[in-house]
Amino acid sequence: MPIDTLLLLTFTLSTIAVVVVVVLYTFIMHHVRTSTKQANFAHQPWLVDVALACVPWLIVSLLMYPTLKKIFTQS
């Protein structure tokens, strides 16, 4: 693969990651502002919530690793 294609893939994945973070942040803030004043506790432990929040970042990082490795070894 030429380096231009690798850079395109890297920037595409980075852009997708940023868009996902912005959308999630927007939805979370909208939910917090419109929720009731009474606290609703989650049905699952906080560790599960943290793990589910980290899974998309792990997937994106694993997809970007080979591309970034090739870019930096060719430079």
Q: Which amino acid is at 19?
A: V
Please report the sign of the dihedral spanned by the C-alpha atoms of residue 42, residue 44, residue 45, residue 50: negative
Q: Which pLDDT tens digit goes with each residue over 13-55?
A: 899 999 999 999 888 888 777 765 666 665 667 787 788 888 9
Instruction: Tell me the three state secondary structure of residue 47.
Output: helix
Q: What is the pLDDT at residue 53?
A: 85
* Domain carrying residue 37: 3-74
Q: What is the pLDDT at residue 23?
A: 92
What's the average model confidence in pLDDT over 65-73? 86
More confident call, 42 vs 66: 66
CA 37/CA 39 separation, integer angstroms: 6
What pTM, to 2 d.p., does this model score?
0.45
Name the domain count of the chain.
1
